[in-house]
Amino acid sequence: MKLLSNKLSALAATAVMAVSLSTNALADKLDDVISEGELRCGVVLDFPPIGYRDANNNPAGFDVDYCRDLATALDVDAKIIPLTWAERLPAIVNNRTDVIFGGTSDSLQRAKTVGFSIPYAIYYAQAIIGKDSGIKTFADMKGKRIAGAVGTVPEKEFLKYAKKWGTESLYQGYQSENEVFLAVAQGKADAGLTTNTTIKPVVGQFSSLAAGPRMPWTTDYTSVAGPRKDIAWLNYLNLFVTHQVRSGRYQELWGKYVGGEAPALRIPNVMY
């Protein structure tokens, strides 16, 4: 009996060690992805035109095409994993995805936990307002019911102002930006926090919505996110971003989904 239990625990020990060792045995994300033959790519699909679902309910948009381009470059299959805003970064931390194209701002706080490439797209935060809300400037948003998506930078930045104004209780956090638009369109909220690129398709969809003021915080430099410790992988992502620009693919996709000239991926007055 004793021997048996010893054998069993030895077996269990080897199993546990095998599990724990297998993850760090020469762990290099780049090798892993290539040998798996599959790129698990997280995207957010309620972010038209950057990520959305087409009429057949298939993922589409700027970010989705970027995923596919990266998979092509690696010569593997792209597995598109739709995520909510809030689970985007935990998905990297918990190893549910290899990479995230999700309009992720490269904040210093986030960089403590996940790794970022150089910026691959540049946005700025803008409000979407109800037509009758009377909001013209950012200051008008004080004391109004404001909706945003949980776990986004605009949420965080706005809550700083709301705290100063003492109007935190008027803020509503939703699971998706789509619910933010619905909330404003239905009149649950006076304005919603979103991104400049999203304004046009959404205003085109809801007659009761209009483009609102630009938010006072800084431009959103968004980066591709990956596991923090995998420097080789992050290097590869950097190279991928520059190649997308050099090959003209960046401009092509931006023109296709957003329209007009793609913003230059430059940060003024900084050398990097």
Partner 1 sequence: MSESANTIQFFTGFRFNDLGFLAEAAGNTLLISVISISIGSVLGCLFGWALHVSVLARYILGSVLDIFRSVPLIIQLLLFFNFFPILGLPLEPFAAGCIVLIFYTSALVAQVARGGIEAVPDSMRRASRSLGMSYLQDMRYVVWPIGARAMLPAWTGVALGVLKDSALVSVLGYLELLRASQILITRTQEPFIILAIVGAFYFALSYPIGKLSAKLEQRWQYD
Partner 2 sequence: MLDASLNSDIQLKLFISLASLLSSGTHMDYTFHWRPVIKALPDLFSAALVTLEAAVLSMLLGIIFGLVLALMRLHGSRPLSLFATVWIELARNTPALLQLFFFGFGLGAFGWHLTPFTIVLCGLAFNNAGYLAENFRGGFQAIPAPQYKAARSLGMSATQTYTRIIIPQVFRLVYYPMTNQMVWAVLMSSLGMLVGFRELSGETQFLASNTFRLFEFFLAAAVFYYLLVKLILLAAHLLSRRLFTY
In the complex, least distance from residue 95 CB atom to partner 1, rounded to whole angstroms: 4
* Contact of 179 with 90, CB cutoff 8 Å: no
- The interface mask with partner 1, positions 165-204, x = CB under 8 A, is -----------x-x--xx--x--------------xx--x
Q: In what order do the strands lie in the sheet with 209-214?
A: 171-174, 146-149, 191-195, 125-130, 209-214
Coil, helix or strand at residue 138:
helix
Binding residues among 41-80 for partner 1 as defined by CB under 8 A: 45-46, 48-49, 52-57
Which residue has 């950057």 as its token pair? 50
DSSP H helical ranges for 102-193: 108-111, 153-165, 177-186
Site for partner 2 in 77-106 (CB under 8 A): 85-87, 89-90, 92-95
Site for partner 1 contains 149 (CB under 8 A): no
Q: Give the largest CA-CA distance in the chain.
A: 79
Window 198-237: contact mask with partner 2 (x via CB under 8 A): -----------------------------x-x--------
Q: Are strands 38-44 and 77-83 parallel, antiparallel or unpaired?
A: parallel
Q: Which of 190, 83, 71, 95 is nearest to 133 (CA)?
A: 190
For 24, the token pair is: 């760090």
Site string for partner 1, 93-132 (x = CB under 8 A): -xxx------------------------------------
Told to check if 128 binds partner 2 by CB under 8 A, we report no
Contact indicator for 150, 173 with CB cutoff of 8 Å: yes
Min dist CB 126 to partner 2, Å, is 21
Q: Which residues bind partner 2 (CB under 8 A)?
A: 6-7, 9-10, 12-14, 16-17, 20-21, 23-24, 27, 85-87, 89-90, 92-95, 110, 113-114, 150-151, 156, 172-175, 179, 182-183, 186-188, 227, 229
